[in-house]
Structure 1
Amino acid sequence: MTEPQHTIDCDILVVGGGINGAGIARDATGRGLSVVLCEKDDLAAHTSSASTKLIHGGLRYLEFYEFGLVRKALLEREVLLRSAPHIMRPLRFVMPHVQGQRPAWMIRAGLLLYDSLARRELLPASSAISLRCHPAGQPLKPVLTRGFVYSDGWVDDARLVVLNALDACERGATILTRTTCLSARREGDRWQALLDKVDCGRIRVNARYLVNAAGPWTTAFLQAAAPQAQARQLRLIKGSHIVVPRLFAHGYAYIFQHPDGRIVFAIPYEQDYTLIGTTDLDYQGDPGQVAITSDEISYLCELVSQYFTVPVTPADVVWSYAGVRPLVEDEAADARAVTRDYRLEVEQGGAPLLSVFGGKITTFRKLAEEAVDLIAKSLDNRQGGWTAGACLPGGDLFGAVPQNRSVLEFAGWLREQQLRYGWLPTSLVARYAHAYGTRMHTLLAGREAPGAMGEEIVAGLYAAEVDYLRRYEWARSAQDILWRRSKLGLHLPPGAAARLQAWLDAHPLRKS
């Protein structure tokens, strides 16, 4: 066996570079603990980039009496919005009322409960609306005459993961992408793990604490690292989404309920498109090979076509994606009823091991805080949680402390950047502002003319941005750049990814 190239000693080794792993690494590093995070693929390569991209309380979970989970998520919405207003935004949802489903009074009561479970400063309350008069009624079938509107939020899920990892890195964490944890075993009061990194070989990590945040692979990793542990079973639920050309011009999203009880959203997406999802299906295959099926595409098209005047067909689908949600098995017969809450379980047969089961993007920060509370106590670290009062990288529009102003005045801040960088197209500055926030100044530092941006590798993507993404955000492939660090892949012609990959191969990143 190849000997490790070098050894790293640390307090915590986190296995898994999805939202939970990145969030835990960030929180722990900010408390002064030394952290190594390893991810076998790219950051957010699986479940964490395959969500419906919502920061929400989970209105439909009220149906299953998950009041604690809904309240926890509702409390987090505005905390997250303030921390990263560039990659998140408030969003209003319209729910058409359909005769034969729940009575209007029951829906209104549920929305009033949703409004009241957590204090709101940024998000307006729900209300009843006439779809004959409301802008959201225009693309809907005339039979739909009344509805309700309520508030939640939208997030760029993959960028949320990257920003947590970036913050962790800048506070001292070691982030190792494309690095597989080959083995982890206890050696006295420490874990000794063997990692394999694609571009530099074997690495040995000696850690005081091991965190298993492997998502759909959590149970398998736990059984390999601690065979004696009683592993909680995960229920893998596949959620699939489709993207079609824009179905409506306004900025509202829709929430539709199918007669079978499932909820499907139709959300404004990337200016020119509408995102539709999701399905809830039990999944038994390899989580790394999950894909949408033709039946799921047809199901989503047929469901939303019951509401929109212009029907949606499979031929309209320009992109689709699917992910596996690793939910805590709770014996629910229906996949949509399985709890979205999380469990943190510590295995103490020597050096401690914490495994993360379940969870959702909206509660990732709270999950991380609770996890690091457990870890810090074990490692005799007395620093408390701090992330509720800190911006994510790029979110400090008006200072280091999160504030409502950053959410409410983002449009004004954007206009200032478009004036500051008037030598660039306003649409490009807007994309930079939404992707990078104040970090766009790092990307553009020292550049004062279009020629300073370097080669335009594909339309709207310059060498300067690619260099930034490779140097600061662990991007290595065209897929990383076009579909996770951005969604430029939606806007580019066939062959763009191959062209970008060829450029990347021909221009290896120079180590500074």
Structure 2
Amino acid sequence: MSEQGVFDIFVIGGGINGCGIARDAVGRGYKVALAEMKDFASGTSSAATKLIHGGLRYLEHYEFRLVRESLMEREVLWAMAPHIIWPMRFVLPFHKGGIRPAWLIRLGLFLYDHIGGRKKLPATRTLDMRRDPAGRPLKPLFTKAFEYSDGWVDDARMVVLNARDAADRGALILNRSRVVSARREDDHWVVTVQPVEGGATSSYRARMLVNAAGPWVDQVLSNAFGVNQVHNVRLVQGSHIVVRKKFADPRAYFFQNPDGRIIFAIPYEDDFTLIGTTDCDYNGDPRDIRISKEETDYLCAAASEYFAEAVRPEDIVWTYSGVRPLFDDGASKAQEATRDYVLKVEDRDGKAPLLNIFGGKLTTYRRLGEHALEKIEGAIGAKGKPWTAGSKLPGGDFPETGQPEEVRQLRIRYPFLSERHARRLVRTYGTRSTAFLGAANSMEDLGRLFGWDLTEAEVRFLVETEWARSAEDVLWRRTKLGLRLSADEAAGLDAYMRETFRPAA
């Protein structure tokens, strides 16, 4: 077993919170290592509804601090990553005698517009659904609606770009590496890590440990640290279905259900509609999470209450499920459990502190990172100042509204790219698209075509710079081309990757 140098911080967990903390910390001058058991964003962080949003429904539960922080973060994150984040308008239809009275919804939207420092996103307005195109796909009883602003994000890409930037700034990033033990030794932690693909274990020493394992945060406390009877998080299952495009309008819908819950119907990957999410307690192993028949039926029925054309189970082309590790605040219903995050530091006589991260969501990950760094500074001393608010994630170094111009410039430089191909590349890699397009003058110059517009050059880039190792990594997390490639094409990609990028013996 090899032993590495001493780190200031060792982070367990490669979801959005772990990667965000690692990036912030290394940017301040801390020596940082991070270990992720599987692939980045392979758990909760790629199973979200993919929104950068204030959380309109959280106002009902009086979570004003969380909503305000989330609202303030929308435009900060948009500026950081305009390639993978962009504004979206949401249509909230209602009718007389609906679940929530119009005045209450309007009051909530007034707060939504005014408590978060909104500057660039347009304000709420009222729609006449008998005249507005947003009313066409819906049943005629929905004659009015409110339209408000939030944002869309490619969640898995946001995670891997935080990891990439942390590595570029000097962090040691260990993907597919399981922490098998962590013990205090004098004033340090000794962390033992086992590569899941085989190979010798390694030992790392760190002044402080950060447990950001998401749904596994309690499991890490039990297994790696030997702590018994831990129950800090409430696991809540959220499932989504993807169907062929239900409407042509670029806006999304916010639907209220008779049971008080809400779902979204969102334009997805040009040709599809994403519908979700569910909220139900989950007691199994997070690795085994799957959408249930009850959830499928629920989402189809809930969307069919609004759409004139029913959503049927046979319309579904893809599903995904995730477990949200909410801080267990004792709420009686899963949908009422707090979405806020809780940070707790444990130490022994001020030595070898441990920071546990409970809860959190995509929208607040950067602020969670700043709050985590406040805890870290208090435990092991401060280094640099907060810096992420004005930063850019890799590939996002262009103005917030600059996506169309980036696509235009990419097509000028590479005229063989179709409009659709160039747009996908910009919305995936931003200015880093040229890193693998290079001096290409044709599609043939990019090597083997695996299906749709996925080329060998792009796959190699993902392996060499974004830790991709399997077809699943490429098709469902680094991109969403799993919706496009046939089973045979996906198998061909998987065989190519296993043969070409086989781990060294």
Per the TM alignment, residue 456 of structure 1 is displaced from its structure 2 partner at its CA by 1.0
**1:250 maps onto 2:249 in alignment:** yes
- Return the letter of the residue paired with 2:76: V
Contact between 1:418 and 1:430, CA under 8 Å: does it hold in 2?
no
Q: Give the secondary structure class of the aligned counterpart of 2:352.
A: coil
Contact between 2:414 and 2:440, CA under 8 Å: does it hold in 1?
no
Which residue in 2 is equivalent to 1:31?
Answer: 28
Q: Distance in 2 between matches of 1:176 and 1:227?
A: 23
Q: Give the secondary structure class of the aligned counterpart of 1:276.
A: strand
Q: Distance in 2 between matches of 1:337 and 1:256?
A: 18
For residues 108-141 of structure 1, give each alpha carbon's deviation from its aligned partner in whole angstroms, at most 9, with x where no partner exists. 1111111111111221111111001111111011
**1:79 maps onto 2:76 in alignment:** yes
TM-score (normalizing by structure 1): 0.95
Which residue in 2 is equivalent to 1:93?
Answer: 90
For residues 47-91 of structure 1, give each alpha carbon's deviation from its aligned partner in whole angstroms, at most 9, with x where no partner exists. 000000000000000001111110010010000001000001100
For residues 451-476 of structure 1, give each alpha carbon's deviation from its aligned partner in whole angstroms, at most 9, with x where no partner exists. 22011123311110010000000000
Per the TM alignment, residue 11 of structure 1 is displaced from its structure 2 partner at its CA by 1.2
For residues 393-440 of structure 1, give each alpha carbon's deviation from its aligned partner in whole angstroms, at most 9, with x where no partner exists. 11102xxxxxxxx22232122212122211222322211111000111
Gaps of 5+ in 1: 398-405
Per the TM alignment, residue 225 of structure 1 is displaced from its structure 2 partner at its CA by 4.5
For residues 286-332 of structure 1, give each alpha carbon's deviation from its aligned partner in whole angstroms, at most 9, with x where no partner exists. 01110001111010000010101100000101100100000011111
- Return the letter of the residue paired with 1:255: F
Which residue in 2 is equivalent to 1:20?
Answer: 17
Per the TM alignment, residue 229 of structure 1 is displaced from its structure 2 partner at its CA by 8.7
- Indicate the percent of aligned positions where both proteins have the same amino acid: 51
Which of the numbers 415, 419, 437 marks the counterpart of 1:422? 415
For residues 361-417 of structure 1, give each alpha carbon's deviation from its aligned partner in whole angstroms, at most 9, with x where no partner exists. 1000000111012213322233111000100111102xxxxxxxx222321222121
Higher mean C-alpha deviation, range 245-254 or range 413-422: 413-422
Q: Distance in 2 between matches of 1:232 and 1:416?
A: 52
Per the TM alignment, residue 232 of structure 1 is displaced from its structure 2 partner at its CA by 5.4
Per the TM alignment, residue 450 of structure 1 is displaced from its structure 2 partner at its CA by 2.3
1:330-369 residue pairs with structure 2 within 5 A? 330-349=329-348, 350-369=351-370
Contact between 2:209 and 2:355, CA under 8 Å: does it hold in 1?
yes
For residues 162-199 of structure 1, give each alpha carbon's deviation from its aligned partner in whole angstroms, at most 9, with x where no partner exists. 00000000000111111000000000000001101125
1:231-270 residue pairs with structure 2 within 5 A? 231=230, 233-270=232-269
**1:326 maps onto 2:319 in alignment:** no
Contact between 1:37 and 1:173, CA under 8 Å: does it hold in 2?
yes
- Return the letter of the residue paired with 1:367: L
Q: Distance in 2 between matches of 1:9 and 1:469?
A: 30
Q: Distance in 2 between matches of 1:459 and 1:200?
A: 36
Which residue in 1 is equivalent to 2:473?
Answer: 480
TM-score (normalizing by structure 2): 0.96
Which of the numbers 490, 500, 503 marks the counterpart of 1:497? 490
Residue 347 to residue 230, structure 1, CA distance change in 2 (3 Å): farther
Q: Distance in 1 between matches of 2:318 and 2:383?
A: 48
Q: Distance in 1 between matches of 2:112 and 2:209?
A: 37
Contact between 2:469 and 2:501, CA under 8 Å: does it hold in 1?
no
Which residue in 2 is equivalent to 1:189?
Answer: 187
Contact between 2:26 and 2:166, CA under 8 Å: does it hold in 1?
yes
1:113-124 residue pairs with structure 2 within 5 A? 113-124=111-122
- Return the letter of the residue paired with 1:335: A
Q: Give the secondary structure class of the aligned counterpart of 1:206.
A: strand
- Runs ≥4 residues deviating over 3 A: 223-232
- Return the letter of the residue paired with 2:489: A
Contact between 2:92 and 2:255, CA under 8 Å: does it hold in 1?
yes
Q: Distance in 2 between matches of 1:480 and 1:466?
A: 10
Q: Distance in 1 between matches of 2:94 and 2:452?
A: 43
**1:139 maps onto 2:137 in alignment:** yes
Contact between 2:343 and 2:358, CA under 8 Å: does it hold in 1?
yes
Q: Give the secondary structure class of the aligned counterpart of 1:318.
A: strand
Residue 337 to residue 42, structure 1, CA distance change in 2 (3 Å): same
**1:40 maps onto 2:41 in alignment:** no
Per the TM alignment, residue 226 of structure 1 is displaced from its structure 2 partner at its CA by 4.5
Per the TM alignment, residue 495 of structure 1 is displaced from its structure 2 partner at its CA by 2.2
Gaps of 5+ in 2: none
**1:440 maps onto 2:438 in alignment:** no
Which of the numbers 401, 405, 427 marks the counterpart of 1:408? 401
Higher mean C-alpha deviation, range 10-19 or range 443-452: 443-452
- Return the letter of the residue paired with 2:379: S
Which residue in 1 is equivalent to 2:281?
Answer: 282
Q: Give the secondary structure class of the aligned counterpart of 2:7.
A: strand
How much is the aligned-residue C-alpha RMSD, in angstroms? Answer: 1.5
- Return the letter of the residue paired with 2:357: V
Per the TM alignment, residue 446 of structure 1 is displaced from its structure 2 partner at its CA by 3.0
Higher mean C-alpha deviation, range 115-124 or range 155-164: 115-124
1:209-220 residue pairs with structure 2 within 5 A? 209-220=208-219
Q: Give the secondary structure class of the aligned counterpart of 2:400.
A: helix
Residues paired across the two proteins, number: 500
Q: Give the secondary structure class of the aligned counterpart of 1:348.
A: strand
Which residue in 2 is equivalent to 1:157?
Answer: 155
